[in-house]
A = this chain, B = another copy of it.
Amino acid sequence: MADNPLDLLMNPKSIAVAGASNNPGKMGTLQALSILKDGFPGKLYPLHAKETTVLGQKAYRSVYDLPETPDLAFLIVPSTVAVSLLEDFAKIGTKRAIIVSGGFREIGPEGKALEERLQEIAGTYGIRFLGPNCMGVINSEIRLSTVFKVAKKPGPLGMASQSGTYITQTADYLHEHGIRFSKAISCGNEADIDMVDALEYLGRDEQTRAIILYIEGIRNGKRFIETARRITQHKPVLAQYVGGSAAGARAGQSHTGAMAGPDALYEGIFRQAGIIRCSSIEELYMHGWTHATQPPLKGNRIAVITNSGGPGTAISDTADKNGLTLPRFSEKLQGKIRSLIAPHAASANPVDLTYHRDMRVLSVTIPEIIMQSKEVDGIVLHGSVGSGFMNLVYDHLGEFAAGIPKETLAKYMETDMGEAVTLPWKYEIPMTISSFFGRGDDNTSRYIDNEIPVFDSPEKAARAMASLLNYREIRGRKPAEKPDLPEVCPDAAEIIANAVAKGQKALDEHEAKMVLAAYGVPVTREEIAHSENNAVEIAEEIGYPVVVKACSAEIMHKTGRGLIALNIQCEEALRSAYTSVQIAAGGQIPILIQEMAPGNREFAAGMTRFPGFGPCVLFGLGGIYAEALNDITFRVAPLDNAEADRMMNDIRARALLTELRGMPAADRSALGSILQTIGNIAILHKEIAEIDLNPIILFGAEPIVADALFVLGA
């Protein structure tokens, strides 16, 4: 496997810092102090124009005065200084840099020019850099941190972020929840090393057990998907993508183009890559932490253990809505549980102890009995509380507790919790905790500090368990196949070339269908009629019922304009439709006579090109519902069989593909093949900008393309 530029950047033996001083109010100083004070075992060489020592370290006037070539240059200086320093470091042989400095691409043209200069220097000298406009990195393995505060103990969660805040300013939050990074990388402007490099690096890193990504936009889309796809087979990757909806849908001449807003595209890209999408930074951190600390979930059966009805119901309800089930426990298991709880407490699942003073029963004994039973794959537990309960009641006890020694009182609440936190890995069954008591409670703290995720609402604990279930499907995937591209079909190429030569903006429907047919896509039988009588002849040949349509490359969208007459059953009706379509078209126009595909399940497929990702294939509900419901999904072409099939599971209306009201289940393989083929056509024929196949009608089980639009001009 090729070297990753972060291998060295994350593991330098020596670091030179420019921009630190003895003024503790400066950002550069604070960042240098982090390197110095967090336990980094290598050398630190401050550069400073005037001082002889900086932060107690000997300072150097210039890059050329350094006693050795540092592995890493760390720059927190004005942008123009950063440019010249990068070149100086490159000249003395330094191979990696982190450029914290802002004032580049993000401020406009003059900054962009400076950023391009950084790229030139990197190209010339082979120095690779992170940033500019980033916050640097954390490598907890060697206790290297360029950010203000990190956990004392190395952790299992890796992060790459396009916002520095999520690595620097959240330390308090992360500590509160017990979250500890393995490695964290702030990507900044990504002028050189980018999010994909960071992802690849974290994928290989053994310390990292799960990866979280904060994404505002990916430039190298194809490499991103390929890299993520490889990693997600063995390591969970979760991502938050924001920034898509404000930008809104892109302009496009096809419906596919119009629906291809960045949010929908990233949604599809994440699914294709096996990345679990999170809808908030809280989910990103907490679900990531759950994946990083808990054993994999091996099935969808969970137990809910609680001492309170409300949270138990909330967990069950949320679990149920997210694909988890609560099996009723066997009589044997219930018998064991019943021996431990009050007579009327619930033992079937959820287990509800109701008010129960012995926290060991709730926190250790019952979870262990359930894990031993193998009747579930995961546990969500609510209600374990220790000192927190005493804090609730202590104010009131006051004088009445006076006679009783404080220790005796505290004993009511004390639980031997040691084993509670060892259960998940002992039985390889994941566990999440819900508690309304924060770190002030000793049980909560014990869970948090021992890598058992604690959530402050029961629904969240259930959702984190459901996130583990998402990964179960991804983990089981076969590696993506590199599907063979078909040969370019000469007939199709000719149709397209002719249309381009004639200056057409699109293929007409009949041309589009001939291209599709040339690549094996099933289309309606049809023929262009040149007169009304000719239309009657064609209809008789095809057999009634038929469809009558205006056919012209000038008309991209026909619905609702009187340009289509469906389900024509006899000559009389045909003649009348022929005329009315001509009138609607406003004059002589070629008329397409087409077989009527008799099905009422309509889908749509399409293709649009997206910068960095290439041709993207759409699948969704068809007909007028496509737009009204926006029930669509995207993938980047080419698609293998499994990926094409997965697209069909993405839409909300997926039940339409199953056996339904006397109609057979759809031939998914044939439908998948259409999706693969339009991706391939887009790869083979760059002249095609966008494709709409809408509707694709299910004729019994078999899909048939009833209308098609190919927009030219890519």
Residues of A at the B interface (CB closer than 8 Å) are 22, 24-25, 27, 29-30, 33-34, 36-38, 55-56, 102-103, 106-108, 111, 148-149, 161-166, 169-173, 176, 214, 216, 240, 242-246, 279-282, 308-311, 313-314, 316-318, 320-321, 326, 344, 354-355, 357, 383, 385, 388, 391-393, 395-401, 404, 409, 412, 436-438, 440-441, 456-460, 544, 557, 559-562, 566-570, 572-573, 600-601, 623-625, 627-629, 631, 652-656, 660-663
- Partner of A22 from the list B24, B216, B400, B656 (CB cut-off 8 Å) is B400
Residues of B within 8 A of A663 (CB): 560
What is the CA–CA distance of A313 and B162 in the complex, to the nearest angstrom?
Answer: 11
Closest B residue by C-beta to A177: B456
Chain B residue with the shortest CB-CB distance to A27: B355
A51 to chain B, nearest CB (A): 13
* Residue of chain B at shortest CB distance from A171: B392
Contacts of A106 in B (CB 8 A): 344
Partner of A280, one of B108, B438, B460, B652: B460
Out of B34, B161, B171, B397, which one reaches A310, CB within 8 Å?
Answer: B161
Partner pick for A569 among B354, B357, B570, CB 8 A cutoff: B570
B412 with A459: CB separation less than 8 A: no
CB closest chain-B residue, reference A280: B459
Q: How far is the CA of A566 from the CA of B36 in the complex (A)?
A: 80
* A663 closest partner in B (C-beta): B560
Instruction: Give the contacting residue for A438; candidates B173, B216, B385; CB below 8 A.
Output: B173
Asked if residues A243 and B662 are in contact (CB atoms below 8 Å), the reply is no
CB nearest to A279 among chain B residues: B459
Given A24-B409, A311-B165, A662-B560, A107:B242 Cβ within 8 A: no
Min CB gap A281→B, angstroms: 5
A309 touches B165 (CB 8 A): yes
Please, which residue of chain B has its CB at the minimum distance from the CB of A106?
B344
Nearest-CB residue, chain B, relative to A355: B27
Instruction: Return chain B residues, CB-CB under 8 Å to A309.
Output: 163, 165, 216
When distances are taken between beta carbons in the complex, the residues of chain B under 8 Å from A316 are 242, 246
CA of A625 to CA of B30, assembled, Å: 60
Assembly stoichiometry (copies): 2
A317:B573 contact, CB within 8 angstroms: no
Give bound CA distance, A459 to B278, whole Å.
11
CA distance A37 to B392 in the complex (A): 13
CB distance from A187 to the nearest CB of B (A): 11
A393 to B33, CA, bound (A): 9
Which of B149, B173, B391 makes the CB contact (< 8 A) with A393? B149
Pair A438/B624 contact, Cβ less than 8 Å: no
Chain B's closest residue to A167 (CB) is B310
Closest 8 CB pairs of A and B: A163-B310, A560-B662, A560-B661, A280-B459, A570-B570, A165-B308, A33-B396, A282-B457
With A25-B412, A601-B624 known, 9 other A-B pairs at CB within 8 A are A148-B393, A161-B310, A169-B385, A172-B441, A281-B459, A282-B459, A282-B460, A569-B573, A629-B631
* 29 residue pairs from A and B, CB less than 8 Å apart: A24-B401, A29-B400, A33-B393, A107-B344, A149-B395, A149-B396, A162-B310, A163-B310, A171-B392, A172-B440, A173-B438, A216-B310, A242-B313, A242-B317, A243-B313, A245-B320, A246-B316, A246-B320, A280-B318, A280-B460, A281-B457, A557-B661, A560-B663, A569-B573, A570-B570, A570-B573, A624-B661, A628-B654, A629-B631
Task: Give chain B residues whose Cβ lies under 8 Å from the Cβ of A400.
Answer: 22, 24, 29, 33, 55-56
Give bound CA distance, A256 to B29, whole Å: 68
B-side contacts of A38, CB under 8 Å: 396
Q: How far is the CB of A306 from chain B (nearest CB, A)?
A: 9
Q: Which of A111, A165, A308, A568 is the most central at the interface, judged by chain B CB atoms within 10 Å of its CB?
A: A165
- Closest chain-B Cβ to A404's Cβ sits at a distance in Å of 7
Question: Is B625 a contact of A458 with CB atoms below 8 Å?
Answer: no
A176 proximity list for chain B (CB < 8 A): 438
A661 lies within 8 A of B569 (CB): no
| A149-B395, A246-B316 known; A629+B629 contact, CB < 8 A | yes
- Chain B residues contacting A568 (CB-CB under 8 Å) are 569
Do A172 and B392 touch (CB < 8 A)? yes
Q: How far is the CA of A304 from the CA of B244 in the complex (A)?
A: 17
Contact B395 A37 (CB under 8 A): yes
Chain B residues, CB < 8 A from A600: 623-624
Cα distance, A268 to B48, chains bound together (Å): 68
Which single residue of chain B is at the shortest CB-CB distance from A23? B400
What CA separation (Å) do A214 and B25 show in the bound complex?
49
Query: Do A570 and B572 have beta carbons less than 8 Å apart?
Result: yes
* Chain B residues in 8 Å Cβ range of A401: 24
Chain B residues positioned under 8 Å from A392 (CB to CB): 148-149, 171-172
CB closest residue in chain B, given A240: B314
Instruction: Specify which chain B residues have a CB less than 8 angstroms from the CB of A170 in the assembled complex.
Output: 436
Is B393 touching A30 in the complex (CB atoms < 8 A)?
A: yes
Which residues of chain B come closer than 8 Å to A169, judged between CB atoms? Answer: 308, 383, 385, 436
Bound Cα distance from A157 to B656, whole angstroms: 46
**Closest approach, in angstroms, between the C-beta of A171 and any C-beta of chain B?**
6
